[in-house]
Amino acid sequence: MLSRSILARPRLELSFKALNHETRRLASTKSLKDTIAEVIPSKQAHLKRLKEQHADTLIGDVKVANVLGGMRGLRAMLWDSSVLDPEEGIRFHGLSIPDCQRQLPAAPDGKEIIAESMLWLLLTGQVPTPDQTRGLSRELAERGDLPQHVEKLIDSLPATLHPMTQLGMGVAALNHDSSFQRAYEKGIKKSEYWTHTLDDCINLVARLPALAARIYRNVYKPGTPLPKIDKNLDLVGNYAKLLGHGDNHDLTEYLRLYIAIHGDHEGGNASAHTAHLVGSTLSDPYLSYAAALFALAGPLHGLANQEVLRWQLLMQKEVGDNITHDTIKDYLWKTLKSGQVVPGYGHGVLRSPDPRFIALQDFCESRPELLESPIIQLVKKTYEVAPAVLKEHGKTKNPYPNVDAASGCVLYHYGLTEFKYYTVIFGVSRALGCVTQLVWARALGLPIERPKSYSLDAIEQLAKSGSS
């Protein structure tokens, strides 16, 4: 019996290997929607367990500083796809940016993460196969054309209207064809909300490049024809082509990296929080993300990268060719003593260099043309000097660079020199995280967001009484 079992083992192991291979094969062919449907029950069970076992468990104290300081630091929001640690930075379902760079599929003609593989990870918590990524790329390309009424709307707007205003208007107008809105009006079950929300979200992500590129053409290149979407390209490959830079492989690769790692940064930032808040009212994804874009358009949020570039170019103009650590240090102190902040440094949560900034710096280090670029070298040398100056200044909680310290300068080097348009690219990117949470808010049945507010007098009374 023993010898027979030993003899049988290779055949048994072979059958297990065959079964595992077949399981992997089947998993690699599952669609995004099917993968999410498989994940939903475990997430619902997890949420139910948390409610039942820990509903009354304290996870933080609300201080007057939280209430008066814009709720900064207050733990009060579910956002499952990413967690932002003050020291180590962002993780997407537990994966750091270097992890994602190693594991997430790239485009066939590139090496950088692409939006499709990041979107799949954010939505499912799983690393997609190359086949799944390619399939999603094709689906997005097939859905990428703008409805005619949106094209007419964008073409009717004055070129002087800010590109972010145009982007928000265009996204809002896409809700004319909202699958969720139509289904809700017919009276669908709550358990089906997520499927129609997902359909809208995929359409939204798919159409953003064509919308953003049309705005760019109208504002900066009027009369230039827009090429057709290439069904064989990934989302950002098509975006670069529509912008008129499809032949610039290095810019396309940079945009792929930028849009992927910029796509989600936990839920507390203004644009993500706005999408979540508006979505909690059961507004469709187009209206929810349009609202988020208008939050992103604020100078304290999405406009930061253009402010960094403007400041760096002014420094370059003043310093000239004599760029040394000492001349940069003098310019930093000049900026601070004039009562201004150093743009691109500091962050609402981070207390160490932003991993996204490091990833963009590594990108620059890998390309000779960027190593020789005066503006990129200025960014690098500023990073070598600024933290010490800001520490000495003493008024900055985080003296380290955030992603904006580098992002706009690389775009400028590669020929995208229109400052006002930079936040539109940010808007194309940030959709990845926002639509993810809109889908999961419907899948988990999250309620409308409704915090309690207090007047100044009421806050003072609560503080004096020590009441919570």
- Report residue 400 as tokens: 């380290």
In sequence order, which ranges of 338-455 are alpha helices (DSSP H)? Answer: 355-365, 368-371, 374-393, 404-413, 422-443
381, 323 in Cβ contact below 8 A? Answer: yes
Three-state DSSP class for residue 349:
coil
What gap in Å lies between CA 240 and CA 212, rounded to an integer? 11
| Catalytic option among 93, 276, 347, 413 | 347
| Catalytic option among 199, 200, 354, 404 | 404
| Catalytic option among 80, 301, 330, 393 | 301
- Report residue 275 as tokens: 């999408």
What gap in Å lies between CA 203 and CA 122, rounded to an integer? 17
Element (H, E) at 42: helix 32-54
In this structure, which amino acid lies at residue 392? E
What gap in Å lies between CA 72 and CA 352, rounded to an integer? 18
Secondary structure (DSSP) of 281-345: TT--HHHHHHHHHHHHTSTTTTTHHHHHHHHHHHHHHHHTT---HHHHHHHHHHHHHTT---TTB
- Alpha-carbon Rg for the chain in angstroms: 24
347 carries an active-site annotation:
yes
DSSP state, 89? Answer: E
In sequence order, which ranges of 55-127 are alpha helices (DSSP H)? Answer: 64-68, 97-103, 115-124
404 carries an active-site annotation:
yes
Dihedral over alpha carbons 313, 319, 323, 324 (to 10 degrees):
-120
390, 402 in Cβ contact below 8 A? Answer: no
All residues at 6 or more sequence positions from 118 whose CB lies less than 8 Å from its CB, including other chains: 92, 100, 104, 260, 261, 263, 264, 432
301 carries an active-site annotation:
yes
By annotation, the residues acting in catalysis are: 301, 347, 404
